[in-house]
Amino acid sequence: MPHAQLTVDLPEHTWIGDLSTAHPDVVFQVVTSIPGERTGIGLVRLTTADPLPLITDIQSRDDVEDLELLWKHDDEALIQIETSNPLPLLPVLRAGVPLKMPFDIQNGEATWEMTTSTSRLSSLGDHLDDLGIGFAIEYVREIDASQADQLLTDRQQEVLLAAVEAGYYRAPRESTLSDVAEVLDIANATCSDLLHRAEGHIIHWFVEEHMDV
């Protein structure tokens, strides 16, 4: 059963995508939400120096049907919002994937964590693609009774295995980055980025699972 974290690009024509991009320093924390096909309701905590002007901006949006200020204290406010454009959470609803709450939205990006079946995780990716919502898989860990093993995307695994087979990680190295890229018929920069991401995921997994930090 995989546990995954995704970074999701929120559509700019939604209130949360537009306003979080316009206010990149503000953290919009979705405490809980009820997504639907036509409307969505959520509790959102705002963290900013003065939440009131931002709340006014949210109220003026055409896709915000209702807004209630539940409480405000200094630089934080909790609001309940009903939107007529629940597009960002439609893929979650259609795939039947429970998101870990709360989750943060900042500068047009949402950070989602979930534990679900492999088929539902795959379905979520398909629904995101169908709706034109960009996303990046930060990590996927397979959870069993004893441990969570770091998994890479198929593309990262392909590039990493090609590098290993080419002797890129041997000492001394038996191939260069250009050699690995040539085998895969990709640009050096693309190869470097994929290897860097794969290496980063493996290192972070190792540190989290096997070192006291």
**Domains of the chain, residue spans:** 2-143, 152-210
Residue ranges of alpha helices (H) inside the chain are 15-22, 51-59, 90-95, 118-130, 154-165, 177-184, 188-210
pLDDT in tens, 61-100: 999 999 999 999 888 999 999 999 888 899 999 999 989 8
pLDDT-based confidence at residue 147 (cuts at 50, 70, 90): very low
- Measured in degrees and rounded to the nearest 5, phi and psi for residue 75 equal -100, 15
Query: Which pTM does this prediction carry?
Result: 0.65
For 107, the token pair is: 């500068």
